[in-house]
Amino acid sequence: MDNVYSKEYDVAPGHEDLYNQQMVIRLGTEESHILIHNLIKSRKEIEEAVTATNLILVKEKEISNPASVVDDSDPNKEYIVKHPMLMVLRK
């Protein structure tokens, strides 16, 4: 079941306690995949970390990656909105 939350959220409102918790991501297809565990980070937290590096953000783009989904085994799947991002930084 896909979640119904807006793209402006990383987790559903009221579920902010999920930040910095693991989520299970399935990379690949149903027939051929690997499960990885990643931490849920807020956009604000990512922006602050990038700023702290003193690097210059050259490009930031949200990308579509249908071969990467929150796996059904994740108990919080319905509350997570995955936003794969491509960020290019330079000195």
Each residue's pLDDT, cut to its tens digit, for the chain (91 residues) gives 345 445 566 899 899 999 999 999 999 988 899 999 999 998 889 889 999 999 999 999 989 888 999 999 999 999 998 888 899 999 9
Maximum pairwise Cα distance, the chain: 42
Q: What angle do CA 56, 61, 67 make, to 5 degrees?
A: 135
The domain segmentation of the chain, as residue ranges, is: 16-90
Interatomic CA distance for residues 24 and 53, integer angstroms: 28
For the entire predicted model, the pTM comes to: 0.75
